[in-house]
Structure 1
Amino acid sequence: MDAAVNPQQGRHRGTHRDPLGTVLTVLWGLGHIATLALLGTAAQHQLGAEHQFAAPPTRTLPDRESTA
């Protein structure tokens, strides 16, 4: 079709997609999913560690030195 006959210059249903573009889009999406999974794992580990390994009150150091 000529540009004068078809003024719409976008991608049509029958046109073949660029395989490299599809691969890059998939890698981009997988990278975001992996990043979110790693951040979630790190946050869960950090939050879980605070409750399991907290020092008992008798072992903590005083806020100020004694006057004696």
Structure 2
Amino acid sequence: MLVLTRKPGEALMIGDDIEITIVSVSGDQIKIGIDAPKHVDIHRKEIYIQIGDENKSASASVENLAGLLKLPPK
């Protein structure tokens, strides 16, 4: 993990097209701004994990359905 120190108003770049700016710091809370292309999905980590879990669950349901559709010929 790379750890950087930034002050409010300062930014960092990820690649050529993602910029993360420190907007403000208040106590133990930091506000950041993210400027990225529209095709880049940005989620809080807990939401990202939840989406992954739901996708795995949906994929298992589709696989179960596919197994049910393989009925023997009449």
Q: If the length of structure 1 is used for normalisation, what is the TM-score?
A: 0.45
Based on CA coordinates, which of the two structures has the bigger radius of gyration?
A: 1
More strand by share: 2
Q: Which has the higher contact order (CA 8 A, sep 6+)?
A: 2
Q: If the length of structure 2 is used for normalisation, what is the TM-score?
A: 0.42
More helix by share: 1
